[in-house]
Amino acid sequence: MNANGANKLLVIEDDQSFANITMRRLTKHGFNCQHAADADQALLACRGMLPDYILLDMKLERSSGLTLLPLLRAIVPSARIVLLTGYASIATAVAAIKQGADDYLAKPVDSQTLINTLLGDSSTQASTDIVNDNVLSPMRVEWEHLQQVLKANKGNISETARQLNMHRRTLQRKLQKKPL
């Protein structure tokens, strides 16, 4: 928290409308928000404002939030960095934590979960997660990842199975079992 009492938050997001909505929601909860749309703007803003918190999108227009994490961590080692993504997977969650993120959230996320995660309030977050329908189970995360790889392969099951290193029939079974 800075001297005037507001929590300085840097929102690094290439989707301008999502960034505006997120900043408006967080400003109502006492955060002093600044926006950066790409990696270059993010590094400049980070050096200028020295944020207490950083909300980082994983997929920026021309770069990845994962590659930006160590650079941000070097500038503000004590900042709490939360990686936010619409493409959640176990592999990226592990990579994000290894690269320096303090936490990882899948979009969409409700305001209370986002605030609790930014503040590092795990006790409140755990109780919120039990009630929150937006929390993805590991099966759901896997299913979402399979869907993304399938989409990237334009619906080609065989090519998707090869990329995921699994049998074609196993992939088909997993895709049929859509978790709640």
Are 7-131 and 138-176 equal in CATH topology?
no
pLDDT value at residue 74: 92
CATH 1.10.10.60 at 138-176, yes or no: yes
pLDDT category at 2 given cuts 50, 70, 90 is very low
Q: Where are the domains of the chain?
A: 7-131, 138-176
pLDDT value at residue 62: 82
Q: Which two tokens stand for residue 38?
A: 């790409």
pLDDT one-digit tens code per residue, 5-63: 568 999 999 888 888 988 998 998 889 999 998 889 999 999 999 999 999 988 887 88
Q: What is the DSSP string of 60-86?
A: -SSSBHHHHHHHHHHH-TTSEEEEEES
Q: Measured between alpha carbons, how far is 134 from 109 in angstroms, rounded to an integer? A: 6
pLDDT category at 128 given cuts 50, 70, 90 is very low
Q: Is the dihedral of CA 24, 27, 31, 32 positive or negative?
A: positive
Query: Hey, what CATH class is 7-131 in?
Result: alpha beta
pLDDT one-digit tens code per residue, 88-115: 778 778 888 888 888 888 877 888 888 8
